[in-house]
A = this chain, B = another copy of it.
Amino acid sequence: MFCSGDPTMFKEYWERMGDKSSITITGWQSLSYFSNTSNICWFLEPEFEKEVRRIHSVVGNAVAEDYHIVVGNGSSQLFQAALFALSPANAPHPMNVVSAVPYYSSYPALTEYLKSGLYKWAGDACNFEEEEPYIELVTSPNNPDGFIREAVVNRGKLGKLVHDLAYYWPQYTAITAPADYDLMLFTVSKCTGHAGTRIGWALVKDREVATKMTKFIELNTIGVSKDSQLRAAKILQVLSNCCECARPGETENFFKHFRGQMTERWDRLRAVVKCSDLFSLPEYPVEFCNFFGDFFEAQPAFAWLKCREYIEDCESFLKSHKIITRSGRHFGVNSKYVRISMLDRDSTFNLLLQRLSTIIQNTH
């Protein structure tokens, strides 16, 4: 399952943490649809809101004060809520939705699957020439290639931006400044590894946009599981606690632990890849991380692997060697590229390295 990005690597850490991060939900809890009727996002659990604000303040990766928080069933739903909120209801044409290649492979499908009259997929942001309103999706660090990104269209008031910051956490990249964009998306899946809870959140500057996003989620799913919000609150609480209390050298600090794991995985992957010129990997700049107080280069959740020229279809080539990846074609580029998950469990990651090594040895 290298293709899906299932974050099973994190499981072992949470096992070691033991019952600290467990929760019990009684049968008589959370029956109501409502969590907080005085909040714009009336289905947002106060405990979850509190822990979201706290983790951003502890990590320093985003400004959360003065932002509205909208909770979603994962950040995919929030992405759709953002399109709904940022597209005028009565425009003569659907809003253009663009993102620079390589872009997250689900963006085109999520924009198109309902053939909405509100918005339409308009492809690579770098080729967007129309003098028309648009929404630009900025994923930073980028999925699939891990680079830090800025908007590329920059056409003033015509444009609205959605920043998908799912991977802007210190196990993956240097936290260089707290992000303060108009609309930022986060998810526990990539932060703590709890993909099965389906909990994401948006930090939204504008009250009206937050209201429309809330309306979308009300129509789409009448809110978001309270059980999972309470669980995510607990997990985030443990995370903030461990950041605030861990003494130097302690491995209990979640981000430190996984920064170490990711460094090790990337070192091992690069060591295998550089044994030949069959494959290549991106190089990332070294940046100062405010959270750790030192310099390091990005070690993304995905490896964006490029094959040598004579391999036309890298996905098929790797598949024939039992390595399942996702082709560059899905990300708006060519089939010389594939995306490989770096977040699978140890045994699976070891298998990946083994199989890559075998390919390289046999091609020599």
Contact = CB atoms under 8 A, between A and B. Distances in A.
A193 B225 contact: no
Contact of A33 (B4, B77, B117): B4
B31 A14 contact: yes
A32 interface: yes
Contacts of A225: 73, 196-199, 225, 227-228
Nearest to A231: B227
Contact of A222 (B22, B76, B116): B76
A6 B223 CA distance: 13
B197 A231 contact: no
Given A10-B31, A116-B114, A194-B31, A23 B25 contact: yes
A20 B20 CA distance: 23
Given A19-B26, A73-B224, A199-B225, 5 more contacts: A17-B27, A27-B238, A30-B194, A31-B193, A227-B228
The 7 closest A-B pairs by CB, nearest first: A21-B27, A115-B117, A30-B196, A14-B28, A73-B221, A196-B226, A225-B225
A245 interface: no
A24 interface: yes
B32 A197 contact: no
A186 to B, nearest CB: 15
Interface string A74-86: 1011001000100
On chain A, which size bracket covers the interface? Answer: 35 or more
Nearest to A21: B27
A301 interface: no
A31 B7 contact: yes
A22 B22 contact: no
Interface string A1-16: 0001011101110110
A179 B185 CA distance: 42
A295 interface: no
A8 B28 contact: no
A114 B26 CA distance: 37
A40 interface: no
B194 A223 contact: no
